[in-house]
Structure formats: C-alpha cells, structure tokens
Amino acid sequence: MTTEAIQERLKPIVKPYVNNQENFNNLTSESNFIEDLEINSANLVDIVLDVEDEFDIRIENDDMEKMINVEATVNVIQKKLANK
C-alpha cells in the first residue's frame, strides 16, 4: 500500500481525538499527534488499537514508541503490512 493510501486511512482513525481542527485540515506527514493535533496522550493507545484493527496488524512496544507523528505511524504500518 502506498504511503498516501495509508495516510488517507489513518485520517479517520485519528480524527475523533483531534483537538486542533485547523492543523488536522492541513495534515502533513510531519504532523505531530501531541504538539500539532493536540491529541491527549491518554488517547494514543486508542489510536494504536484502532490502527491494529483497521490494518489487521499487531504493533509491538518498540514500534508503538515511535507512533507520535503521521510519518512514523505510516512507516510502522507499512513495515507491518510488508511482513504479513
């Protein structure tokens, strides 16, 4: 799956937890979940679990640790899909 396609599928997963709508509307690969989208850290686990369900993958702690922005999250998903 292309980076763009993964990012498109990631958007509706992240959306319910976003507190900065403007930055979400201008989402880029560099958008940081906490700093830019103002997602509360308590919700990061919900996003990780939603990503696992949506892409039918399992994310270990080492990978979860990096999932704080769009690019890193897309990379983790891409790697997991490639290894399926």
Residues 6+ apart with CB under 8 A from 1: 78, 81
Q: Of 27 and 57, which CB lies nearer to another protein in the complex structure?
A: 57
Residues 6+ apart with CB under 8 A from 14: 24, 33, 37, 39, 47
1, 5, 34, 81: which one contacts another protein (CB under 8 A)? 34
Min CB(73)–another protein separation in Å: 10
**21 is a contact residue toward another protein (CB under 8 A):** no
**43 is a contact residue toward another protein (CB under 8 A):** yes
Helix (H, G, I), strand (E, B) or coil at 32: strand
**30 is a contact residue toward another protein (CB under 8 A):** no
**57 is a contact residue toward another protein (CB under 8 A):** no
Min CB(62)–another protein separation in Å: 9
Which of 75, 78, 71 lies closest to 36 in space, CA to CA? 71
